[in-house]
Amino acid sequence: MISSYKCGYKTAALQFENTKEIMNSQCKNLARHLIQSFIPGEATPTLAHQIGQELCEKHLKGKYEYVMTTHIDKGHIHNHIIFNNVSFVDGKAYISNKKSYHQIRNESDHICKDNGLSIITSDDLQNNNKTKGKSYKEYQEQKSGNSYKAKLKYTIDPAIKKSKDWDEFITLMQEYGYEIKHGQHISFKAINQERFTRAKTIGSDYSEELIKERIENRVGGKLNHTTRQRTPIKVVDIDSNKLASESAGFTRWLKPRPTVTGKIKGRDFGKQKRRIISNLLQ
C-alpha cells in the first residue's frame, strides 16, 4: 500500500533532487526516513496507512514531498515515511533534532489514541534502552535477520501490562501463539519459526528475572522498569572540602545520574540515496 504527495513513488528520488536543485539548496541529506510501528493485532493495514497519512499531513504541513508505504511482512504492521529534506514551498531544509522527534512522537500518539490504538509510554522507551536511530546498514541487517525478535518484543511488552503474575504472563504468551522453553534462560518460538529465541537477546530488560520484576512493579504501582545508576567518580571529596560542600554546582555534578535512552526511529539519507529509497519502497 503506497501513497505519495507532490511526487510519484517510482520517481521520488529524482523529484527530490530536482526540488533541491530548483531551490538552490546546499544541504547534504536528500531525504528523511521515519518508521511508524503498530502493536500486532491492533491495526489493519488500511487503518495504519490512514494514520500514516494523517501524520504526514499534520507534521509536514504540505511543505515537503513524501512517499509512504505500509508493510505487513515483519510480524507487525508498520509505515515507512520518506520525505524530501528540502521544502518545495520555501526551500528550507527540515530541522531534525530532539524537539522535532518529540513533536512527531506526540502527533503520532494523538492520532493513534483518536483511533483507539495503544501508544508507547515513557516507561516503554526506557525499557528499550538500546533503541536508537539506525544507519541504513543496521536497518537492513535487522530487516533481514531479526524480524522474529522484533515481533517477540512487541508481544512481550503488552503481555507484561496485562499480567497480574508470572503464570498469567506465560499463559498469555501461549495464547499469542508462542511455544515456551524453560531452562537457564527462558526462550520463545513463534509459529513457523525454526529456532527458539532467548528473551534476553532482544534487550537487557527481557531476561526472565527482569520480566518478573516488571510485572511485580506494575502490579505494585511502581515503575515498570529498572533505572540504572552510573557510579560517580569523586574527583573532589565534598565531605571534607568546604568550598565543594557549599557549592550547588559541585553537588549536582557529583550526583549519580540515571542512564536513560530514548527510542528514535528516524534516519538521515546521504549517499546511495536513490537505491535506498527504491529498496524501502519495495
- Most confident range, picked from 157-171, 211-225, 242-256: 157-171
d(CA 203, CA 199) in angstroms, rounded, equals 8
For cell 567518580, name the residue: 233
Predicted confidence at residue 66, as pLDDT, reads 97
Predicted confidence at residue 141, as pLDDT, reads 47
What are the pLDDT digits (tens) for 258-273?
433 333 345 444 445 5
d(CA 64, CA 210) in angstroms, rounded, equals 43
Predicted confidence at residue 58, as pLDDT, reads 96
d(CA 198, CA 194) in angstroms, rounded, equals 13
β-pairing, 2-5 vs 31-37, is: unpaired
d(CA 175, CA 19) in angstroms, rounded, equals 51
β-pairing, 66-71 vs 266-268, is: unpaired
Contact 108, 120 (CB under 8 A): no
Question: Measured at the alpha carbon of residue 189, what is the angle toward residues 188 and 195, in degrees to the nearest 5?
Answer: 110
Predicted confidence at residue 273, as pLDDT, reads 53
Which domains does the chain carry?
2-120+264-280 (3.30.70), 141-219 (no CATH)
Predicted confidence at residue 129, as pLDDT, reads 44
pLDDT above 50 (res 179):
yes
- Average pLDDT on 275-281 reads 54
Q: Which residue has the higher pLDDT, 114 or 192?
A: 114
Contact 126, 227 (CB under 8 A): yes
Predicted confidence at residue 76, as pLDDT, reads 80
End-to-end CA distance of the chain: 10
